[in-house]
Amino acid sequence: MHRRQKPSAPEHKSDLAAHGGALSMSHNDTRSFFNLSQLVLSAGHLKSPPVLKHSKVTYFEVEILDMQSKKQICIVDKVPPSSTLLDVKHKFHKACPQWYPSRVGLQLERNGPYLKDSINIQSLAVSSIITLYFTDLGQQVSWTTFFLTEYTGPLLIYLLFYIRLSTIYDQVESTKNFRHPVVHLACFCHCLHYIRHLLETLFVHKFSGGHTPLKNMIKGCAFYWGFTSWIAYYINHPRYTPPSFGHRQVSFAALAFLMCEAGNHFINVALAHQNHSGLKACFPSPTYNPFTWLFLLVSCPNYTYEIGSWISFTVMTQTLPVGIFAFLMVIQMSLWAQKKHKLYLKRFYPEVRRKAAMIPIIF
């Protein structure tokens, strides 16, 4: 019988080591594959990195031509679509420093209206090149400066005549003649009128930052300052004669003047807040204040009260210069009222269509 020979100890150990090493290697491979699978499953699907898309912004070129000669003045390039016409004017000023934005008038057509500064440049674009026509508007002043200058002059000029300067009146005649009470009352009313205008310019009226030519301010100052000098000279003259009907005429006219001044103020306050009643702009409606009830009859009651003040001042002083000034104010303000009434009809047609412009039935 042949006996099966046992391997020797060293050979047996080496076999076991080899077999055990194979088992350990296969076990480690299995665990590594399992861990890798778990990692892939937990990470989810592999995604390719997103492709960055570059947004393309379209810029405009604004070609500015002289309105008279049609010659090119400059080209304002790289204008973003969100820019306004005021931004274009500022860039135009950088290219041509002699033209300030306030004196630059831009038109889409040669005979067209001047474009507003707030208009968006994209709304004018038909292509990437926009052609605008330039007009020099001349030296400009702000509306606040315009009204402050126009109303400060009459206030100071009237006071110079009221104190009766020796260079204006005869000093001996001024000391002899007694001043009628209406002279003092007229000075108070005249100063009150222009002080109200100045305070409303500073604290009530809201200007959109626009400008007006300097020549318009010169014309306005010449009109108001000149008439104030003429009016004040006659009322404060030592030979001034009081009204024909005496105290009653003066008292009635002064009361009417004060009521018109109060009404004018409350109307201006209502007009300054007409766009704050909601999301949609609406025409001012009468309130509990009786001075605003005139909105039921006319669309421009501020002009109605203004001419009422000057007519009352004419009756109170009974002087020809004041009467002529009041007559001219009626003509001028009726023209302004008609112009505003047409604008109100476009914006607030249902509310304004049955109202007069300034004076019920007449205008």
Percentage of the chain beyond pLDDT 70 is: 81
Dihedral sign computed on CA atoms, order 303, 308, 314, 316:
negative
Q: pTM for the full model?
A: 0.78
Q: What are 163's two structure tokens?
A: 């104190």
Range of the domain at 126: 60-138
Using one digit for the tens of pLDDT, what is the confidence trace for 101-152? 989 999 999 888 899 888 999 898 888 899 999 999 989 999 999 999 999 9
- Our measurement of the distance from residue 56's CA atom to the centroid of its chain's CA atoms, rounded to an integer in Å, reads 34
**Continuous H helices in 204-300:** 214-235, 246-272
Instruction: Report whether pLDDT(11) > 50.
Output: no
Residues 223 and 250 occupy one common structural domain: no
Total of domains in the chain: 3
Does a structural domain hold residue 323?
yes
CA distance 106 to 79: 16
Domain final residue pick, 110, 138, 166: 138
Do residues 194 and 232 both lie within one domain? yes
Do 133 and 143 fall into the same domain? Answer: no
In a shared domain, residues 168 and 237? yes
What's the rounded Cα separation, in Å, for the pair 104 and 73?
A: 13
Residue 254: per-residue pLDDT? 98
Question: Cα(327)–Cα(321) distance, rounded to whole angstroms?
Answer: 10
Q: Are residues 144 and 115 in the same domain?
A: no
